[in-house]
Amino acid sequence: MTESLTVNLGERSYSISIGSDLRSAIQAQVADLLKAGRKIAVLTDRTIAARQAEALQAMFGAAPMLAVAAGEETKSVAELGRVLEFLAAQGLDRTGVLVTVGGGVIGDLGGFAAASYLRGIEFIQVPTTLLAMVDSSIGGKTGINLTAGKNLAGAFHQPRGVFIDTQFLATLAPREFAAGAAEIIKYGLLGDAALLAQLERAPLTMTSDNLAAVIRRSCELKARIVEADERELAADGGRALLNLGHTFGHAIEQVAGYGTYLHGEAVAIGLCAAARLSAKLGSLSAADVARVDAVVAAHALPIRLRAPLALPALLAVMARDKKVRAGLPRFVVLQTLGVAVTRSDGITPIQVEACFRAVGAVDSL
């Protein structure tokens, strides 16, 4: 059975289709585009190209395809240029459509390429990881990393549609599945206490009976937030709430070196740090912090750094975070488990440093 929900953004609205085998639906979409005289091209990574060769052939036939290296390092200026040259070599015009098949790296890179090529062409997201299904494929944030920091170059560019085929999860490594669970835990913490309690009672696995329902609920939570604040311009709250755990997590990813931690693993540690910051601000109890640690650990995710990182380096990266406003880092903290708010005032460097130390950072290496 295929379910769908709509991200309502006026003329940029699109549908998210969720099911256990969406190959025929994707085939039909491709056929309609080709029938209308529109060229398509496919971007994926080499792991997906090898593991899902039959599915890719069934969905896209002879459509030109570029397979890039898997991993966060691919979100680079050099690889963006490579994708743009690929689109030009295939002769796509402004009616062309790029289909991204892969995890968050492929969606982010391909989406930014689609936003940039000929000043913008349409693209379709076919996420293949749990993290991409519940988070990065939805909402139109695209981008690449710079030496200075994560996702510092990019564009808001909404997809034409999103096809979430849960069959792709059958070949997903357990570590990658756990990384996606971090984003689902985030949704529970920031806006759905019932979802959080459900994850506490029965940690999500690839064989969970409620997997599709949890994916749909996560998509729904993100869609409603994006609808209210598409470009993250709200003075308080809004789309910035989706960054819960990310201000700490992005610093961890960059200082450790991209690839040391999967994005979801860094976010998981960031959630634990954010819970501690919330406690320091007086909104969470020690028992609440323990609950956050427990649900993160129950999903095979780290709650502390695997190896120490230098506190000065982490703070320097955090100061360059794209969420900084008027020179002040903007944190997402928890008023209670299930309700999050944004804060930039009243948070001291000493408190932030203490939270980093609590998850394993050290003053010097």
Residue from 300, 307, 305 nearest 175 by CA? 300
Q: Is the pLDDT of residue 235 over 90?
A: no
Q: Where are the alpha helices (DSSP H) in 234-325?
A: 246-256, 263-280, 286-298, 311-319
For 51-58, which contacts have Cβ atoms below 8 Å and span 24 or more sequence positions? 51/171, 52/101, 52/128, 52/168, 52/171, 55/23, 56/101, 58/23, 58/27
Active-site annotation holder among 246, 299, 330, 343: 246
What pLDDT, in 10s, does the model give residues 237-289?
Answer: 999 999 999 999 999 999 999 999 999 999 999 999 999 999 999 999 999 99
**232 is annotated as an active-site residue:** yes
**183 is annotated as an active-site residue:** yes
Q: Where are the alpha helices (DSSP H) in the chain?
A: 23-35, 46-51, 53-60, 77-89, 104-116, 130-131, 174-191, 193-201, 211-228, 246-256, 263-280, 286-298, 311-319, 349-358
What pLDDT, in 10s, does the model give residues 45-74?
Answer: 999 999 999 999 999 999 999 999 999 999
Domain with CATH 1.20.1090.10 in the chain: 174-358
Residue from 85, 293, 73 nearest 182 by CA? 293
Active-site annotation holder among 79, 230, 232, 253: 232
The CATH number fitting domain 3-171, selected from 3.30.365.10, 3.40.50.360, 3.40.50.1970, 3.40.50.720: 3.40.50.1970
What pLDDT, in 10s, does the model give residues 194-225?
Answer: 999 999 999 999 999 999 999 999 999 999 99
Least confident of 138-142, 217-221, 346-350: 346-350
Distance from chain centroid for Cα 145: 14
Domain with CATH 3.40.50.1970 in the chain: 3-171
Please give the backbone phi and psi of residue 9, each rounded to the nearest 5 degrees, phi first: -135, 40
Q: Which residues contact residue 301 at a Cβ distance below 8 angstroms, ignoring those fewer than 6 apart?
A: 178, 179, 181, 182, 264, 265, 268
- The pLDDT value given to residue 320: 84
SS3 readout for 292-306: HHHHHHHCCCCCCCC
**239 is annotated as an active-site residue:** yes
- The pLDDT value given to residue 182: 98
Distance from chain centroid for Cα 155: 15
The DSSP 8-state label assigned to residue 18 in this structure reads E
**122 is annotated as an active-site residue:** no
**How do 122-127 and 141-146 pair as beta strands?**
unpaired
Q: Which amino acid is at 111?
A: G
Least confident of 124-128, 271-275, 320-324, 350-354: 320-324
What predicted TM-score, i.e. pTM, was given to this entire model? 0.95
**343 is annotated as an active-site residue:** no
The answer to whether 77 touches 120, Cβ cutoff 8 Å, is: no
Domain 174-358 belongs to what topology? Dehydroquinate synthase-like, alpha domain (1.20.1090)
**119 is annotated as an active-site residue:** yes
**222 is annotated as an active-site residue:** yes
Q: Which amino acid is at 232?
A: E
